[in-house]
Amino acid sequence: MYKITKLGVLTSGGDAPGMNPCIRAVVRTGIYNGLQVVGIRKGYQGLIENDMYDMGPRSVSNILNLGGTILKTARCLEFRTDEGMEIAYQNLKAQGIDALVVIGGDGTFTGALRFSKKYPDIHVMGVPGTIDNDLYGSTYTLGFDTATNTVVEAIDKIRDTADAHDRLFFIEVMGRDSGAIALRAGVCCGAEAILLPEKATAIDELIENLKAGQHNKKSSSIVIVAEGDKNGGVYDIARRVQKEVKVYDIKVTILGHLQRGGSPSAFDRVLGSRLGYAAVKALIKGHTREMVGLQANYIKITSLEEALTEHEFKLEEDLMEMADILSI
Ligand code: ATP
């Protein structure tokens, strides 16, 4: 069996709370099992720029509670090219690194799969780290729970002021291709409507629902709009509704990057620790070109090929249906 000796760890793509607990678990599990561990800065950029450093158990002290990623992250165009990958490979060989844990989203996994096919002597395990919760192979991704809690806290505050003034708020949350945060936050905050990239919502229907809410004596309304909704953006939707719904004063809030930051929730700390630990154990057992994920509260390993190509992530239909009914 292929025996690994030196492990590299990197975070790539958008940062997500929970990446630090995961890095900590990778470093300490690796060292516990006799491996040398190297931190690679700024994702694949650090592989190309040879920006790496040796890590020990104390390199990851007191980071469980930190948002962001101590290794930093980047979107690296050069790694998409064959030349960039070759430089990365040569740097890894020069350092004696024979295994990698890559923490990121589907772009990160796409890069890892290509790299691993070109250079099979570097074993690679993926850890799903993205606030979007849109990866096949894991019911939850790192950062999704924290980001959702952040959104819920913000919307609760907006509901207070909306209620005091009889206002209708349109709130844009992150999710260019994924309505996962919007849907959960909508259920948690009793949103009157949730607009998602995965489901077309006719503006006429939205207007009718909001009018019905007024008729039913609702004193405020909240509409959550995921970034990727296809109706033309939150300001445009608000303008169209304003023309038809006269009673409410209409406001727009874009929550933006605050959704990425903050201390990881207890859930994300446990998930990051479990996934980091499992990724290293899997590499030691000889696994490669796969990802670790959480399914029915157990750690499951899925091939990157399958995670990226065979299945599309689907939002829970029952949550969508329930959210509509519970907000009448
Ligand atoms: P998030 O879901 O938070 O956006 P992500 O991992 O999907 O995270 P991306 O920016 O799409 O974020 O991808 C991260 C990095 O992975 C890219 O910057 C690039 O370096 C690498 N990558 C993405 N696609 C490819 C590809 N086809 N070939 C090689 N590398 C890739």
Read off the CATH number of the domain in which 10 is found: 3.40.50.450
In the three-class reduction of DSSP (H, G, I as helix; E, B as strand; rest coil), residue 224 is classed as strand
* Shortest-distance Cα residue to atom 15 of ligand 1: 108
Q: Confirm whether 14 is domain-assigned.
A: yes
pLDDT band at 315 (very low <50, low <70, confident <90, very high): confident
3-state secondary structure of 72: coil
Whether pLDDT at 312 is above 70: no
Which has the closest alpha carbon to 254: 279, 275, 229? 229
* Ligand 1 lining (C-beta closer than 6 Å): 12-14, 44, 75-76, 79-80, 104-108, 110-111, 114, 130, 132
Find out whether 71 and 104 touch, Cβ atoms under 8 Å: no
Domain membership flag for residue 328:
no
Q: How confident is the model at residue 166 (pLDDT cuts 50, 70, 90)?
A: confident
Helix (H) or strand (E) holding 300: strand 298-303
CA–CA distance, 192 with 215 (Å, rounded to integer): 13
Adjacent-strand bridge partners of 123 = 99
Residue-wise pLDDT tens digits, 215-254: 788 878 899 999 998 888 999 999 999 988 877 789 999 9
Are residues 171 and 124 part of one domain?
A: no
> Which ligand 1 atom is at minimum distance from the Cα of 80?
29
Residue 79: the pLDDT is 98
Decide if 318 is inside a domain: no
Residues 154 and 37 in one domain: no
**Which of 11, 49, 80, 257, when mutated, tests ligand 1's pocket best, judged by the most ligand atoms within 8 Å of its CB?**
80
Query: Beta strand pairing status for 36-40 and 52-55?
Result: antiparallel
Structure tokens at 267: 């859930």
Domain identity same for 138 and 10: yes
Site to substitute for ligand 1 among 12, 77, 78, 109, most atoms within 8 A of C-beta: 12
How many folded domains does the chain comprise? 2
Residues 160, 269 within the same domain: no
From CA 38, how far away is CA 44, in angstroms rounded? 14
Tens digit of pLDDT for each residue in 191-211? Answer: 999 999 988 888 888 898 888
Model confidence, pTM: 0.95
- Same-domain pairing of 14 and 35: yes
- Alpha-carbon 303 to chain mean position: 19
Q: How far is the CA of 202 from the centre of ligand 1 (A)?
A: 32
User: Per the domain annotation, does 204 fall within a domain?
Assistant: yes
The catalytic site residues sit at: 132
Residues 158, 218, single domain; the answer is yes
Of 245, 260, 275, the one marking the end of a domain is: 260
| Domain identity same for 149 and 32 | no
Residue identifier of the C-alpha nearest atom 13 of ligand 1: 107
Neighbouring CB atoms inside 10 A of 230's CB total: 12
Domain around 129? 6-143+264-309
pLDDT confidence of residue 48: 98
40 domain residue, yes or no: yes
| Co-location of 133 and 20 in the same domain | yes
Q: What are phi and psi of 100, to 5 degrees?
A: -135, 140
Query: Does one domain contain both 95 and 185?
Result: no
